[in-house]
Copies of this chain bind each other. A is one copy, B any other.
Amino acid sequence: MRVFARDGYSNASIAEVASNVGLTLPGLLHYFPSKTDMLLAVLEVRDQRSPRLPDCPQDYTLEDAAAGPPLPWSQVVDQLRLVNRANAEIPGVIRAFSLLNAESLGEDHPAQEWFHQRSGLMLQYIAHSLRHGQESGEINPAIDPDQIAAELIAMMDGLQLLWLRHPDKVELGSYFESYLQRLQQAVQIT
């Protein structure tokens, strides 16, 4: 993760990773047969370690959220807030992911599928929650669930990039919080 954070995936050298963990290159390749395998392993670990709300089981995945019944909107917002606050404490990890996120837009990137599926599921489960809220009369029927879902993801990723570039000027946690509060006024029915 540290090496990917500094160099991205394509430019990172697995020989350096090996040396960082006290192995030679073939020694490391014994565990991860190829560079791609190592990348995907890193992505998986990161996913498992993302924080969860108090009531949420530890093995609850994004796939579960997207496939299962719609979550209450307040819970979705709480979850995003929680993740954002936690992210502010691990700039190295966020840097690695921001880098890989952009890099994996390339045609034949080994993590392309992973990021595509992941962001697709997030869009889906957020929009799902909003649509459900509209049907039960708790969410403003005038808003577009797909648009709001995209906005939220975009704001999280975009703020991360800007925060990484200007850690002195941009305060990740409170800036996202300000945005959320304004969003809530437009989305919720009072």
Contact = CB atoms under 8 A, between A and B. Distances in A.
Given A175-B147, A182-B186, A162 B166 contact: no
Interface stretch (A32-40, A46-54, A93-101): A93-101
Contact of A99 (B102, B107, B154): B102
Interface residues of A, number: 46
Interface in A26-79: none
Given A101-B102, A164-B105, A154 B155 contact: yes
A16 interface: no
A73 B147 CA distance: 25
Interface stretch (A17-25, A114-122, A128-136): A114-122
Interface in A121-164: 123, 144, 146-147, 150-151, 153-159, 161-162, 164
A60 to B, nearest CB: 24
Nearest to A103: B8
Nearest to A181: B186
Q: Which 8 A-B pairs have the closest CB atoms?
A: A158-B158, A154-B158, A102-B102, A10-B11, A154-B159, A157-B158, A154-B162, A150-B170
